[in-house]
Amino acid sequence: MNREGLDAPDEELPAGSWAELLKSAGAIYDRHHQELYAYAYWQLRDPSESEDMVQETFLRLFRSRSAAPPTSVRAFLYAVVRNLILDALRNASAQRRHRSFVIQSSVEGSSAEDPSHTELQRAALAELHRLPDDQRDAVTLKIFGKLTFAQIAEVLSIPEGTAASRYRSAIEKLAERLPSGRGDR
């Protein structure tokens, strides 16, 4: 199925009015669903809950009727899904389930969904979860969301330089903590 504008950057999608944006709904969904699901799944580790978060994200985009459509659809979608995930994790029982799954999968090895994780991948995942929340958010949005620092700044409501700094600090910490592959820890 060839959807007009599917390969155009978000900035080239019709953004003059909500009516024009809604005409591109299928293309927007097709373009962003998979990556938003991967981001949500990485955070929640629950396929059903992740899909629910992504569906709610798209519903909020298309139900939103602010003065003008978002300037970056992608950044808007990531901001919404991130906030939905944070709301879900604030729930005490959801937070306990999330933490125990992450700890269990990091200690025991690979998850049932992806048995191909290597030792380094498991170590990286465990170390990523040990980062401060602000740094972990910057890394996950950059790596898994493939967002620019400007888009990360928009999602997190911080200056672009702060987004870049958090990412750089996180990468430096991960590099210090992870084995180098030369037999050392």
The CATH number assigned to the domain holding 33 equals: 1.10.1740.10
Please state, for a pLDDT cut of 90, what percent of the chain lies above it: 30
Instruction: State which of 65, 90, 115 marks the end of a domain.
Output: 90
Query: Does 126 fall in a domain?
Result: no
Q: How many domains does the chain have?
A: 2
Q: Are 125 and 106 in contact (CB under 8 A)?
A: yes
Query: Does 145 fall in a domain?
Result: yes
Residues 83 and 135 placed together within one structural domain of the fold: no
Residues 36 and 85 placed together within one structural domain of the fold: yes
Q: What span, in angstroms and rounded, lies between the C-alpha atoms of 54 and 29?
A: 10
Query: Does 165 fall in a domain?
Result: yes
Q: What span, in angstroms and rounded, lies between the C-alpha atoms of 180 and 173?
A: 13
Instruction: State which of 40, 69, 90 marks the end of a domain.
Output: 90
The pLDDT value recorded for residue 65 is 65
Six token digits for residue 60:
């909020």
Asked if the model's pLDDT at residue 100 lies above 50, the reply is no
Q: Are 185 and 119 in contact (CB under 8 A)?
A: no
More confident residue, 107 or 82: 82
Asked if the model's pLDDT at residue 149 lies above 90, the reply is yes
Six token digits for residue 156:
């997190």
Instruction: State which of 30, 64, 90 marks the end of a domain.
Output: 90
Query: Does 183 fall in a domain?
Result: no
Q: What is the mean pLDDT of the chain?
A: 76
Q: 72-86, 100-114, 124-138: lowest mean pLDDT where?
A: 100-114
Q: Which domain holds residue 153?
A: 131-177
3-state secondary structure of 117: coil
CATH classification of the domain holding 153: 1.10.10.10
Residues 22 and 83 placed together within one structural domain of the fold: yes
Greatest mean pLDDT among 34-38, 106-110, 139-143 lies in 34-38
pLDDT digits (tens, 9 = 90+) for 24-81: 888 889 999 999 999 999 888 889 999 999 999 998 888 876 666 677 888 989 999 9
CA nearest 128: which of 141, 139, 120? 139
